[in-house]
A and B are shown apart, each in its own frame.
Chain A
Amino acid sequence: NAGVTQTPKFQVLKTGQSMTLQCAQDMNHEYMSWYRQDPGMGLRLIHYSVGAGITDQGEVPNGYNVSRSTTEDFPLRLLSAAPSQTSVYFCASQSQVSYNSPLHFGNGTRLTVT
């Protein structure tokens, strides 16, 4: 089973450039989310989706857009990259919308903005 697949693994952007981080899951999970990981700050929720066609903001949504056109895919878009967005980004999925259901994480995308 592939689980949660993120691409690319690494990316370097210049300030102002845009890009899309891809995330796909093959577990038919309804809930998907994006986190960023910064040293000493744990994982902070950027955006999440409880099902196809539904998205909502997390703790740190500014500078990021998402869409959920299918159950499988949940891309994260950076419209105009800034150095403050240098981070490791994790996509996660969950079988049901419940805090009792464990999160399955991808292996991350390490983004550097210069």
Chain B
Amino acid sequence: GQQLNQSPQSMFIQEGEDVSMNCTSSSIFNTWLWYKQDPGEGPVLLIALYKAGELTSNGRLTAQFGITRKDSFLNISASIPSDVGIYFCAGGNAGNMLTFGGGTRLMVKP
């Protein structure tokens, strides 16, 4: 099946720092999605990207759909304690099945 490589696997940063994570794939996707999972809860959609090269922001979050359609990145600016959680990328194509990355566990030190 399709594989998504998400990196880094975990990050431990100081509050106020910027964060960057990315996903790469050997296959092309038509949609890239970024989800966040808070401890003890299910993933929640943060940002959806539908076009190659698209750059979309949601508050302090910015995500980009790579021009080759094989990668995407998520940036978080000025991190705060509530940013703690696991961030998942997901790629989608026709047929509806999303492929998820392995997740990036973010820990923020106050």
Contacts and interface: CB of A to CB of B under 8 A. Distances in A.
Contact of B33 (A90, A102, A108): A102
B43 A105 contact: yes
B105 to A, nearest CB: 9
Main SS class of interface, B: loop
A98 B88 CA distance: 19
Contacts, number: 62
B44 interface: yes
Given A42-B88, A44-B100, A107-B40, A59 B93 contact: no
Interface of B: 1, 4, 6, 9, 30-31, 33, 35, 40-45, 48, 50, 88, 90, 92-98, 100-103
Contacts of A41: 102
Interface residues of A, number: 26
A107 B88 contact: no
A102 B102 contact: no
Given A42-B4, A43-B88, A105 B97 contact: no
